[in-house]
Structure 1
Amino acid sequence: MPSVNLRHSVRAIILEADNCILLCRFAIPDPAGTVVWAAPGGGIEPDETPLAALRRELQEEVGLTVGTRPPHVWHQEVVAPGHAAGYDGVVNDYFLIRTTRFTPRGTLSDDELAAENISGMKWWHPREIAGYQGSDLFSPRDLAAPLTALITSGVPAEPVLLGL
């Protein structure tokens, strides 16, 4: 069986006091017009630990400093050609960060964020996600379900396996 080249990434489930989650708006160029709301984070660089990658990505994208090691709550593997440029798919590990609401502004400029396809950020309440009727997508697609479970049941003993 041929090996699969997956991009390993870390993402943060950033929740504030009212259980709103901070999501990044990714404007995906192909297919044109695709918008996906996803947790901030990104790829783990060679010789970088997942925690170091999470700290770097959150400073760059939203300006959040991560002190202690946050709990690992979700794990996602998506093997799909074209899902990540240059890869056969992605592995996303999600970590829970509780914080007070803040205005996201990382160290990356707007042009640098745009180069990563990030065109905005928004705090979403789980009810807004569950009731959303527009054309934008969420990652994972059923984000409202695992998010609600995380909020109501707390940190799982083992990371929950997510679908697409």
Structure 2
Amino acid sequence: MLRTMNTPVRRDTARVVLAGPGDRVLLFRHLLPRPWAREGWLTPGGGIDPGETPAQALVRELREEIGLSLGTDDLGGAVAFDAGRWWTGDTVFATVNWYFFARTASLGLDFSGQEERERGELLDHRWWRIADLDGSADLVFPVGLAELAARLVDGDRPREPVELPWE
């Protein structure tokens, strides 16, 4: 059964602003669905499975996607969120993306835990300098990532998650 514009499928995600050495931020390049329908850069993370908290989902996703082992205590609470709709084919999704912050001492990544579908969807990865995020001609999500990342690496963690624009 296809979901149409009138009945969106709920698909929330947990994502991380991951700062590595030199305060570089890891992003993955993907072909984005509509309304963007072009390549763009996203923070690591993925869907929240039934019964998972956003932090639990992110711990699982980081282990699967890049081989990074963190616990939920390492993440703390969400630092930001955005919400909106996107679609692929005739299916519309309503999404809340929850963003966390973490640091890693290594720029090394292990993609061996990714499913074949995930490996096919990942076009590239890059550790970005925060200064390069703001002036990039590339599409980078979440909107406002440069400002948020600069704040986080400076130790200014918001008390409540900051709402970021969808587009």
The TM tier, using the shorter chain, reads 0.7 to 0.9
User: Quick check: 1:22–1:39 contact (8 Å CA) kept in 2?
Assistant: yes
User: Quick check: 1:113–1:119 contact (8 Å CA) kept in 2?
Assistant: no
Give, in angstroms, the shift of residue 33 of structure 1: 6.7
Is the counterpart of residue 119 in structure 1 residue 123 in structure 2? yes
Of the structure 1 ranges 34-43 and 20-29, higher mean CA displacement relative to structure 2 is found in 20-29
CA distance in 2 between counterparts of 1:123 and 1:129 reads 10
Counterparts in 2 of 1:139 and 1:83: CA distance versus 1, 3 Å? farther
> Residue 99 of structure 1 is aligned with which of 92, 97, 104?
104
- In structure 2, the gaps of 5 or more residues are 1-5
User: How many equivalent pairs are there?
Assistant: 158
What is the one-letter code of the residue matched to 1:39?
A: T
RMSD across aligned C-alpha pairs, in angstroms? 2.6
> Structure 2 matches for 1:28-67, cutoff 5 A?
28=32, 34-67=38-71
Runs of 4 or more above 6 Å deviation: none
> Residue 90 of structure 1 is aligned with which of 91, 95, 111?
95
- In structure 1, the gaps of 5 or more residues are none
What is the one-letter code of the residue matched to 1:101?
A: S
Where does residue 108 of structure 1 map in the other structure?
114
Of the structure 1 ranges 121-130 and 60-69, higher mean CA displacement relative to structure 2 is found in 60-69
CA distance in 2 between counterparts of 1:47 and 1:132 reads 37
| Percent identical residues | 31
TM-score (norm 1): 0.82
